[in-house]
Amino acid sequence: MIRAKQVHRSYHLGKKEIEVLKGIDLEINAGEKVFLCGPSGAGKTTLMYTLAGLESPKKGQVYIGDVDFYNMSSSHQARLRNEKIGYIFQNYFLLPELTALENVMVPGLIGGASHREQAEEALARVGLAKRVDHLPAELSGGEQQRVAIARALVNSPSIIFADEPTGNLDSANGDEVMKILMEVVEEQNATLVVVTHDSSLSGLGDRVFTIKDGKVATD
């Protein structure tokens, strides 16, 4: 489902080039739940963004299915991201002027359809059927993250990427969000890739990849 082949990624800090990913090879099978772990600053999020089609590698290939993602046109990349991939971020990235329902409808609108019914169903699945008309500011952090999960699921993607999905939540809300996320991913038989600094969460997955010195080693 996802394959990285000798992926390199670097950043420039002034005149200095800092290599973050140093020739990463990995494969994630369809339907797997995989956790990317490692110390802060190790490049976990950089790797996830590169696998998710959000940051181009300096060198190497990323395959989503049989498609060499970064060898596609930008329009084809955008279509694949919208139709096949869901994203969940630590900071939620909800549009503040839109209700919970409208936020969940955004991926459908980008794809040229409203998907109101699907959005309502997605919010019900994460326990927010009675909060559809609330703005993000009227929701708790845990509720906002559940809206973000519903938004990621509304197009029934085959792959979901989650970057520190419990990073801004207390332990009780974090546990609830992870329970909901794992349940809905299981229902959809989707592939899940989670970045987390919390090693206790990694036990929820099928496999753990630890980033060390710019490379990935399987635990």
Strand order in the sheet with 59-64: 16-28, 2-13, 59-64, 67-68
Residue 18 lies in a domain: no
Q: How far apart are CA 83 and CA 159, in angstroms?
A: 10
Q: What is the pLDDT of residues 45-58, one digit of tens each?
A: 899 999 999 999 99
Query: Is the sign of the CA dihedral 196, 167, 42, 80 positive or negative?
Result: positive
Task: Tell how strand 33-37 and strand 207-212 pair up.
Answer: parallel
Query: Is the sign of the CA dihedral 199, 184, 148, 171 positive or negative?
Result: negative
Residue 66 lies in a domain: no
Q: What is the CATH number of the domain that holds 120?
A: 3.40.50.300
Task: For residue 125, list its beta bridge partners.
Answer: none
The total number of structural domains that make up the chain:
1
Residue 7 lies in a domain: no
User: If you search the block for the tokens 């279509």, which residue do you land on?
Assistant: 79
- Count Cβ atoms below 10 Å from residue 120 Cβ, excluding itself: 18
Residue 165 lies in a domain: yes
Q: How far apart are CA 92 and CA 145, in angstroms?
A: 6
Residue 86 lies in a domain: yes
Q: How far apart are CA 163 and CA 137, in angstroms?
A: 21
User: If you search the block for the tokens 């029934």, which residue do you land on?
Assistant: 156
- Residue 113 structural domain: 28-57+73-218
Q: What is the pLDDT along the chain (219 residues), one digit of tens a residue?
A: 899 999 999 988 888 888 999 999 999 999 999 999 888 778 888 999 999 999 999 999 999 999 999 999 999 999 899 889 999 998 899 999 999 999 999 987 776 666 788 899 999 989 999 999 999 999 999 999 999 999 998 888 999 999 999 888 888 888 998 999 999 899 889 999 999 888 788 889 899 999 888 888 755
Q: How far apart are CA 52 and CA 63, in angstroms?
A: 10
Q: Which two tokens stand for residue 134?
A: 């609330």
Look up residue 24 and give its DSSP letter: E
Q: How far apart are CA 88 and CA 165, in angstroms?
A: 7
Task: For residue 72, list its beta bridge partners.
Answer: none
Residue 141 lies in a domain: yes
pTM: 0.91
Residue 161 lies in a domain: yes
Q: 170-175: which pairs have CB atoms within 8 A and are 24 or more residues apart?
A: 173/140, 173/141, 173/142, 173/145, 174/198
